[in-house]
Chains A and B, each alone.
Chain A
Amino acid sequence: MVHWSAEEKQLISSVWGKVNVEECGAEALARLLIVYPWTQRFFSNFGNLSSPTAIIGNPKVRAHGKKVLTSFGEAVKNLDNIKGTYSKLSELHCEKLHVDPENFRLLGDILVIVLASHFGRDFTPSCQFAWQKLVGVVAHALARRYH
């Protein structure tokens, strides 16, 4: 079980409380597809992904980004059992979606950058530490049921 200090929990939930899940989710997923274009391989039925502008404006990207970040919220609500929270999703990403877990790390780093751009100075080094730890734990949990 991952150990979270009181400070880490506080930093995580105070940031999360201010996050616009729809906006941040859409932005994080769009950036993933733009900065690491090979990730588009998982979204061939999303329509037009031909340019950053197309990706950012793509309604399927926005919707899916929101879905992904909403799911991330489950981790925030269940910091003491992230493993259990993502058990089914891990199996799904392995068995049905066939996503290389490295991609979870990429998305996690991008999410941190998106948060930094939204919160500016309020996204302190301590905040970043807590969030890098969280995205790492989530990525690990999502990879855990791979076989």
Chain B
Amino acid sequence: MLTAEDKKLVQQIWEKVSGHQEDVGAETLERMFAAYPQTKTYFPHFDLHHGSDQIRGHGKKVVAALGNAVKNLDNLSQALSELSNLHAYNLRVDPPRFSSQLLSQCLQVVLAVHLGKDYTPETHSAVDKFMSAVASVLAEKYR
């Protein structure tokens, strides 16, 4: 459960991301494809080379969606409802319980790389909880 303090930390971190959405998104996806090759199976139609326009475009989309979630921390279910349907019925990505851990890990690595010490244990904890909450909501409609 996200505490008031967690929410504040997530919002603060997101403010730092907001100027660099495309870069953060692209790097997160690149790391995910590099560290967890099985995730590439969902993108056979993508050019997955470093710097690909498709990765940049998709990364930007993903980060924007997360940004929307950050703006609606008190009502994630509703804010992510469309995406929840999309993932469950169209994309049918391996349930977010599993795959979201991979995305969360890579997003956090990107944040840690760029923020260094500023990615404090408290921030780390809040972001981990946030991504976990997002995964739960996305998984709601799977079955």
- Residues of A at the B interface (CB closer than 8 Å) are 27, 30-31, 34-35, 52, 55-56, 109, 112-114, 116-121, 123, 125-126, 128-129, 132
Contact = CB atoms under 8 A, between A and B. Distances in A.
B113 A52 contact: no
- Interface of B (DSSP majority class): helix
B97 to A, nearest CB: 13
A129 B125 contact: no
A92 B117 CA distance: 34
A16 B94 CA distance: 33
Interface in B18-38: 27, 30-31, 34-36
Sort chain B's interface into a size bin. Answer: 20 to 34
B121 interface: yes
Contacts of A52: 121-122, 125
Contacts of B14: none
Interface of B: 27, 30-31, 34-36, 105-106, 108-110, 112-117, 119, 121-122, 124-125, 128
Contacts of A31: 121, 124-125
- The list of the 4 closest CB pairs from A to B, nearest first, reads A125-B34, A117-B112, A116-B112, A35-B125
Given A112-B105, A128-B109, A34 B122 contact: yes
A52 B125 CA distance: 10
Contact of A121 (B34, B113, B119): B113
B126 to A, nearest CB: 9
A128 to B, nearest CB: 5
A123 B105 CA distance: 14
A129 B35 contact: yes
A34 B124 contact: yes
Given A35-B121, A56-B121, A128-B109, 15 more contacts: A34-B124, A35-B125, A35-B128, A112-B105, A113-B108, A116-B108, A116-B113, A117-B116, A118-B116, A120-B114, A125-B27, A128-B34, A128-B106, A129-B35, A132-B35
